[in-house]
Structure 1
Amino acid sequence: MMTNLFSIFEPSSSVFSLSFNWISTILGLVFIPFIYWASPSRWSLVWSKIIYLLHKEFKALLLQYHLGSTLLFISIFSLILFNNFLGLLPYVFTSSSHMVMTLALSLPLWVTLMIYGWINHAQHMFAHLVPQGTPPALMPFMVIIETISNVIRPGTLAIRLAANMIAGHLLLTLLGSTGPTLSTSILFILVMSQILLLILESAVAIIQSYVFAVLSTLYTSEIN
């Protein structure tokens, strides 16, 4: 019996005292090689089209485009998207709903950008702390505000992704747990609402992957 609603997010199964559920993070890689050795299919053509559209989008967002620089953000988008969709399957661990994974994606990226920006573009980084047209009296406050907003960026990226995935899964679990106590007529309404919520969660899975990748691209373009 589930004693805690949040227990569905705990990596409880383990092998040799290692969390076994985290293997679901790399299950998305299983679907990628089929594009390279199998005959072209609708799946491979659709995925190639998505990658091409993302490449054009990220290339337009980057102020200084370097060859292959969009591959990093396309890879982040693919990893989050696969994990979000795999988490919608029954009995599959949703690794993207944990801060351990989301911070592991956002924090190294942000630290790398900060190190690169302050070493190579220190003057631009200082100028970015005070927006153009700021009155002199407000400049000290703007420096503090911009510094805080810059420091919390990896946290906001991680929390946004994890919170959105947790919210949908909790709602699905909460409604599903009431099924055995309902009558047949109300149970039909519950099933239909669960299907609609599942469709909504599929849209959220795509949107959150795109938002994470786009915001990472925008943060990158600010240091160029």
Structure 2
Amino acid sequence: MQPLAGFGMLTVQIQEEVVTVPQHTTGEILVTLRREIFRDDWDMLAEDLVVYQLPLWFYQHLERSTDHAFTPKYDRIFTELFDLDPGMLSQLLVAPDPVAVLDALKDRVFTEAHWRLRRMRLPWPDQDNVAQRLARTSPARYPYGGLLRCVRLTMPGTTVSDMSLILHLPELVYWQVELGQLPANGDVLDLLFRAYGTNDLRPLLAATDLPERVKAHADQLPELSFNFT
């Protein structure tokens, strides 16, 4: 190196910065997570996506992304959706073998109890707000959803997931029945008959004492009675 005139030898030290370059795209990681966490069960995935207001077609579009980093919004959503630890998505992007990383977690992720708790933690949209929005655009087609919702709310701490398990319905289907967007099946009607002590539900649609009626017939609902106070 030649010295600069009048300044002697100028020494410049360049500090090398080590940058970790992602080995995988966000789309590749989403495909891996779907296959490993949801076992390619598109129906179950679609049910959970609705909680985050993500249509299945849009999620499929994200699986084709060539980006190398998740935006903060999708980092939060997919961390919750796939039940990952904070920062795990970033680790998967640079992992030589993302499947091996997930395999190390499978004992925690795939136990039935943990899976059940994960489903119960899903932040289902508030039914009141959704019902008000639907009332403006898509009125309830079926009248007994409100009666079903009253049964659930009369029992403190009972979630959409709890009721769907009792009635053997997917969470999304139960939720739509409660909103009046799907008809009540035989199991739902049987529960309502017993909850309100009547085989004619029509007069109840205008009743104002529904919680009291449910509590009065709690002994007819042994599968739910543990929730009554």
Normalising by the residue count of structure 2, what TM-score does the alignment of the two structures yield?
0.22
More helix by share: 1
- Tell me: higher relative CO, structure 1 or 2? Use CA pairs within 8 A at least 6 residues apart: 1
Which has the greater radius of gyration?
A: 2
Normalising by the residue count of structure 1, what TM-score does the alignment of the two structures yield?
0.23
